[in-house]
Amino acid sequence: MDFLPLLQILKSSKSYKKNITSVVTYPFANGKWIDISFLPENLREKLLSIGIERLYPYQKRVYQAIKERKNVAIVSPTASGKTLSFHLPIIEFLEKGEKAIYVYPTKALTRDQERQLKRYSENVKFGIYDGDTPVPKRRILRRTSQVILTNPEMIHYSILPYHTSWNLFLSRTSFVVFDEAHLYSGIFGSNVSSLIRRMKRVFSFYGRKVNFIFSSATVSNPDEFFHKLLRENVEIITANESEKQKKTYIFIKPVEERSTYTETLWILEEIVKNGFRGICFMRSRKGVELMYRYLLNRLPEEYRNKIAPYRAGYSKETRREIERKLSTGEILLVVSTNALELGIDIGDLDVAVISGYPGTISSFLQESGRAGRRKPGYTILVAEKDPLNEYIIKHPEDVLEKPVERLVIDDENEIILKKHILCASFEIPITERDRNVFGPRLNEVVNKLKEDKRLKEIRGKFIPIESMPHRFVSLRNFDEDEFSLITEDGNLLEILDSWRAFSEAHPGAVYYHEGESFIVTNIDLNTREITLKPMEVPYYTQSLEISSVNIKNVYEEKTEHGIKIFFGEVEVTSRIIGYQKRQHFTNNLLGEVPLGLPERVFETQSLWFLIPEKIKEEN
């Protein structure tokens, strides 16, 4: 579908208030190609049979590096064939009886990649090993699979602690691939770095020297990042050789009398009514549910089955059905959290609507990349009313032309190391030799775990006092408590961590699930169960939170440009003190209700600075 009609449709709509601040178009760009003569005959024939007659030059470099059993990091734009580049050489090793593990950050991406991988190699035996895999099937997969497709949590909770059940597979494993590697930043990435150390430790137990491969579209500091993630040498292969479709970016500032939701709503209406296929990214689960409900209320009957919400927390059947319908074109528009930000093949979408800047250039480009993969595409950013969004729509070149943010992990974070060393001690007892794995801080951390009565020593080896410590270690955040959301008739809706439970499912909260409205009637802090009942109300709720930070220890301090900067240990206390009722569409405040929920306290490391009195006086 051509883009000019969509832009004209938006500008001719009665809802348009001449508030498009910028339109930036990038023309179609040819890719750089090479022939496939460098591949073995069987791989050439397979590629030709599925219509692939040429490859990008970087794919040859990846092929050669993996054939030489090097650790490799691939950094190349969205839809540039990264999966094919690492899978082709691994096929040759699989044919010799070796095994591989492909790690994806989400279940949806895992199943999408299985479909693609089977297209390249129908004779390879793939096995998806995630939380949805039935227990009887798991035993079969361990015996029969050549490639296990899984996620970091399954490696952490299921494979490493029970590695003796996997001995036949792990003793033949040669490659581990981490796809969408840009997600392994911050707390998640710091945990995954320690998880990789534990993986290498178990592989060594089975006499294997495994090569690690990483793949991502957006990494600005690949040398630093991948070295810290793996703690080994990694060959970095970056490329920008792929074919690029025409892409138009539209930046919209909501008019004064409208919220970001209201501005987004009329745009989505026009997209659906005019037959465009698209995705709308909202910044929260509640935002997804509210936008979906608003669309249902505004769209004529014949369009209501052409839209769907998508977010974490839905059942696997619901998620897969939405993915299928979006890919086949049965659904014109999906309203999603960043759960669909990753490289899932959801068909040829015309437009990606981003309701509120996602906070990083990397996320903006990932969400934008959902449209225009194999044909021209649009991205529409609807700004929120805050300084950062205001800046972005005035300076679109900052998200379109500047490098993405540096990825940062703390591979020596003591809090994280303690958790993973404790888990490692359950997998294989900790000894002095593990300094090669966990570094020079091993003895220090082990001694602290002994003082905390988490580890005990038996003949120079350290094992955990409590069995299966993995249960209490979350990879994606510091919050390890979970609450079950249960309807009054006993149906489990979903699981929330305690932070979401307190802020989104407190007593009196309006909670939305797959477009249905519920009221939270009770939260049981002992059983960690939250009870809900179906109810339609003319408002949504917004929690009110107060937080305080107590500085416990200063590790470092320095002065830059007259400003004192500190880094150290802090204690954070937060509490939900009440909630507001706000009217749909207008956001008018209808009332406030106090709550008596307990405080939540956690320790972490923090950076802070002091604002000089002179600057305070000037502002």
What pLDDT, in 10s, does the model give residues 226-238?
A: 999 999 999 999 9
Global confidence as pTM: 0.88
Q: How far, in Å, CA of 436 to CA of 102, rounded?
A: 25
For the CA atoms of the chain, what is the radius of gyration? 26
- pLDDT of 604 over the 60 cut: yes
In this predicted structure, what is the pLDDT of residue 347? 65
In this predicted structure, what is the pLDDT of residue 549? 96
From residue 437, alpha-carbon distances to 174, 195, 373, 417, 447 in Å are: 19, 11, 41, 11, 17
- Higher pLDDT residue, 293 or 112? 293
Within 10 angstroms of residue 87's Cβ, the number of other Cβ atoms is 24
pLDDT tens digits along 186-230: 999 999 999 999 999 999 999 999 999 999 988 999 999 999 999
Q: Is 585 helix (H, G, I), strand (E, B) or coil?
A: coil
The end-to-end CA distance of the chain, in Å, is 51
pLDDT tens digits along 409-428: 998 888 899 999 999 999 99
pLDDT tens digits along 2-33: 445 888 899 999 999 999 999 999 999 999 99
Angle between helices 222-230 and 186-205 (to 10 degrees): 50
Q: 3-state DSSP: the chain helix, strand, coil percent, rounded to 5?
A: 40, 30, 35
pLDDT level of residue 343 (50, 70, 90 thresholds):
low
pLDDT level of residue 619 (50, 70, 90 thresholds):
low
From residue 217, alpha-carbon distances to 74, 220, 358 in Å are: 8, 10, 17
Q: Is 401 helix (H, G, I), strand (E, B) or coil?
A: coil
- Higher pLDDT residue, 116 or 348? 116
Largest CA distance in the chain: 79
pLDDT tens digits along 278-287: 999 999 999 9
Q: Where are the alpha helices (DSSP H) in 428-471?
A: 435-438, 442-451
From edge to edge, which strands make up the β-sheet containing 126-128?
126-128, 147-150, 99-103, 173-178, 211-216, 72-75, 235-238
Q: Is 425 helix (H, G, I), strand (E, B) or coil?
A: helix
pLDDT tens digits along 256-265: 989 999 999 9
- pLDDT of 1 over the 50 cut: no
Instruction: Please answer whether residues 123 and 95 qualify as being in contact, where contact means their C-beta atoms are separated by less than 8 angstroms.
Output: no
pLDDT tens digits along 488-512: 999 999 988 888 899 999 999 999 9
Q: Quick one: average pLDDT of 534-545?
A: 95
In this predicted structure, what is the pLDDT of residue 530? 97
Tokens describing residue 457: 């020593």
Tokens describing residue 525: 């802090």
In order of their start, the domains of the chain are 3-27+245-400 (3.40.50.300), 34-238 (3.40.50.300), 414-470 (1.10.10), 482-618 (no CATH)
Average confidence score pLDDT of the chain: 93
Tokens describing residue 91: 């096929």
Percent of the chain with pLDDT over 90: 80
Q: Quick one: average pLDDT of 450-460?
A: 94
The H or E element that residue 21 is part of is: strand 20-26
Tokens describing residue 603: 């320790």
In this predicted structure, what is the pLDDT of residue 165? 96
Q: How many helices (H) and strands (E) does the chain have?
A: 21, 27
Q: What is the 3-state secondary structure (H, E, C) of 170-236?
A: HCCEEEEEECCHHHCCHHHHHHHHHHHHHHHHHHHHCCCCCEEEEEECCCCCHHHHHHHHHCCCCEE
pLDDT level of residue 73 (50, 70, 90 thresholds):
very high
- pLDDT of 587 over the 90 cut: no
Q: How far, in Å, CA of 289 to CA of 487, rounded?
A: 18
- Of the ranges 377-381, 461-465, 532-536, 601-605, which one carries the lowest mean pLDDT score? 601-605
pLDDT level of residue 345 (50, 70, 90 thresholds):
low
Question: Measured at the alpha carbon of residue 248, what is the angle toward residues 247 and 250, in degrees to the nearest 5?
Answer: 150
Q: How far, in Å, CA of 533 to CA of 510, rounded?
A: 10
Nearest of 271, 373, 366, 358 to residue 327 by alpha carbon:
373
- pLDDT of 522 over the 50 cut: yes
Tokens describing residue 49: 């049979």
Nearest of 612, 603, 600 to residue 568 by alpha carbon:
603
Tokens describing residue 388: 């950062």
